[in-house]
Amino acid sequence: MLVTAVAGALVFGFGLAVYTGLAGWEHAERRLTDEAKGRVEVERKKNFSAKEAIANAANARTPEAWDQAMAAIDALEDRQEKAVLKSAITLERVDAYGRARDQLLERAVELARYNENDPRILEFIERAKPLQAEIVKMLENPDQLARELPSGMSDEERKAWNATLWYHVGHANYSQLWFTPSENKTEINKLIQKSLGSYARVFAFIPKDTRTEYAIEALYEVNKTKNRDGDAQGKGKPKRPILLPRNEQAPTSGPGTTDPGI
């Protein structure tokens, strides 16, 4: 009788332990599931915020708005989605920064038409420098940007995107000529060659791209004049390259016709 009672107690105790263990496991699993659901919900909200920020930036088209969109993307946990979204909006950010940069350079050009010695000319160029530096940073690895494009893009969309990418890379190198001292011939030559190489890659995606043909023609003009203008420190103003279209059709005027000579 005693043995039976002890055996029964042991079985009950074992069953209770198993039940308690199972209950604890189920509770832990439920807690983990709730945490996972919470993480999914947080990520969903972040994703919504990122896409909302992208939509707002697309309307505003300012560097600040695109920076906010990039910050929202950076908050995402999904690395692949983060990379795809970053790649997808980079050219929009570059265009916004380029627009802001060129507005400042256009002011410098306008001032130079009336007075080449106006001190505000260099002020506008200096204010454009950090915008140019950010553009160069964004485009430092163009091949990786192209690899991380959304998979749902059509062939035509990919061609257009890649053509625009390499136009922007070429334009970034070309625009750097604005900020390079005229006596630094080695750097100027390097920028011209890098710019030509990037522009040439556009034709792999759009064989006859007018804006790129115009940009290359302008580069040859810069290359032709670089050795005869602003050679000596303090003797005349260094020639600056003309402003090129960022991502539009090229103007009909020939390169060199609007060079401000500042």
**pLDDT for 33 beyond 90:** no
- My answer on whether 94 and 221 are in the same domain is yes
For residues 54 and 146, membership in a common domain is answered with no
> Is residue 133 located within the same domain as residue 209?
yes
- 239 in any annotated domain: no
Question: Is 242 among the domain residues?
Answer: no
Residues 127 and 200 in one domain: yes
Contact between 155 and 192 (Cβ < 8 Å): no
Q: State the residue range of the domain holding 44.
A: 2-64
- The tens digit of pLDDT for each residue in 150-194 reads 777 888 988 999 999 999 999 999 899 889 888 888 998 899 899
Residues 112 and 34 both lie in one domain:
no
235 in a structural domain: no
For the entire predicted model, the pTM comes to 0.71
| pLDDT tens readout for residues 218-257 | 888 777 766 544 443 334 344 555 555 555 433 333 333 3
Structural domain includes residue 106: yes
CA-to-CA distance for 185 and 72, rounded, in angstroms?
Answer: 42
Same domain? For 149 and 31 the reply is: no
Instruction: Identify whether 237 is part of a domain.
Output: no
Both 22 and 119 in a single domain? no
Same domain, 122 and 211: yes
In a shared domain, residues 57 and 109: no
The reply to whether 52 and 152 lie within a common domain is: no
Q: Are 215 and 174 in contact (CB under 8 A)?
A: yes
Provide the total of helices (H) and of strands (E) in the chain, helices listed first: 8, 0
Do the domain assignments include residue 127?
yes
Same domain, 166 and 95: yes
What is the number of structural domains in the chain? Answer: 2
Distances (CA, A) of 3 to 8, 9, 215: 8, 10, 99
